[in-house]
Amino acid sequence: MEHADPEPAIIRVENLEHAYGDFKAVDNISFSVKKGEIFSFLGPNGAGKSTAINVLITLLSLQKGTATVAGYDVTKDPQRVRESIGIVFQDITLDRDMTVWEILEFHGRLYNMPDDERRRRIDELLQLVQLGGKRNERIKNLSGGMKRRLEIARGLMTRPKVLFLDEPTIGLDPQTRMRMWDYIQGVNNEGTTIFLTTHYMDEADHLSDRISIIDHGKIVISGTSWELKNTLGRDIIYLETNDNEAAVSLLKDLPSIRDIKIKTKGFLLMVNEDGTKVLPGIIDTLRNSAIEITTINLKKPSMDDVFVFYTGREIRDEGAAPAKPAFLRAGGR
């Protein structure tokens, strides 16, 4: 509508940088989000996801680069950006002594919705997130999942073009997380573009149309979940042998093998073809050279593998980067 582009970008970020003192939280990132898609920033805590989101929602000032949201520049037109978006913050942003209805009413008034539209929208949204029966309940009496659902409803009050979700399922139990995913997908099906940050691989994998893996403030790789996994090959084979070095040098030139990663006790083969077909040949090759195989495992690349492959380590906690070698995780899960 606003753009003549065949695939209009609703968020467009170019060369964005944001530093706290000397520390570059976001380091020269560029990406765009298409209208109607679910786009994820996947990265460990402290990777710069929240900083990036806070610049886009105009809570942090833009230091370097450009960013437009819903067609408006975040520096030149922050008011318009604010009117066009909905936000679910990383931490619960509710008043425990207000009621469910009051939280939504407050938001509607804050965004200056007319009375009748506000009332109608509250009824609709309470239905959508199944909190109709909790209308006059105080926030402190709600469960974690209910609070999150209420925040999603609040984010949708003004019918935003983009809904920002910063770690939407953090701290929720597995069932609640999955229900939350359903709500998020439902909202997306109704046409709202969704930008979410997460450090859960399965969440990014399950929900997103496209994912950008972000680490140390940089985007490491972007694509659909399928594309990202495909960069690792079709299958991953994990082998342990009595002579790993010899085995690797023997296998590394096979045409079906895309890449090899050495692990502590064994090694991983990323293969281009169906692993079940390739495996017998590999076993024969090793047997013929009198190398004894002690362990075999075959699996499809998961988002975890992709993440570890591109960031060089498993997901870490709060900015602490353990000096683990850049190996893939053993595949026996």
Which is closer to another protein, CB of 108 or CB of 331?
108
Question: Do residues 176 and 145 touch, judged by C-beta distance below 8 A?
Answer: yes
φ, ψ dihedrals at 304, nearest 5°: -60, -45
Min dist. Cβ of residue 53 to another protein (A) = 9
Burial of 135 (0-12, 13-18, 19+ CB in 10 A): middle
Nearest CA-CA partner of 208 in 196, 219, 220: 196
Which is closer to another protein, CB of 164 or CB of 307?
164
Kindly state the tokens that stand for 245.
């070095």
Min dist. Cβ of residue 163 to another protein (A) = 13
Task: List the Cα angle 271/273/277 in 5-degree steps.
Answer: 105
Which is closer to another protein, CB of 102 or CB of 137?
102
Applying CB under 8 A, which residues contact another protein?
1, 50-51, 54, 57-60, 79, 82-83, 87, 89, 93-98, 102, 106-107, 109-112, 114, 154, 159, 191
CA 191 to CA 37: how far, in whole Å? Answer: 8
CA 83 to CA 69: how far, in whole Å? Answer: 11
Min dist. Cβ of residue 247 to another protein (A) = 50
Which is closer to another protein, CB of 95 or CB of 173?
95
Min dist. Cβ of residue 106 to another protein (A) = 5
Min dist. Cβ of residue 61 to another protein (A) = 8
Which is closer to another protein, CB of 158 or CB of 302?
158
CA torsion angle for 157, 162, 166, 169 (degrees, to 10)? 70
Nearest CA-CA partner of 270 in 301, 247, 295, 302: 301
Which is closer to another protein, CB of 95 or CB of 227?
95
Nearest CA-CA partner of 48 in 218, 217, 167: 217
Min dist. Cβ of residue 332 to another protein (A) = 41
Alpha helices, H only, the chain: 49-56, 78-84, 100-110, 115-128, 144-156, 174-189, 201-207, 225-230, 244-251, 275-288, 303-311
Min dist. Cβ of residue 79 to another protein (A) = 5
Question: Do residues 327 and 261 touch, judged by C-beta distance below 8 A?
Answer: yes
Which is closer to another protein, CB of 40 or CB of 51?
51
Nearest CA-CA partner of 264 in 209, 214, 330: 330
Min dist. Cβ of residue 101 to another protein (A) = 11
Min dist. Cβ of residue 177 to another protein (A) = 23
Which is closer to another protein, CB of 92 or CB of 298?
92
* Strands 72-73 vs 23-34: parallel, antiparallel or unpaired: unpaired
Which is closer to another protein, CB of 54 or CB of 256?
54
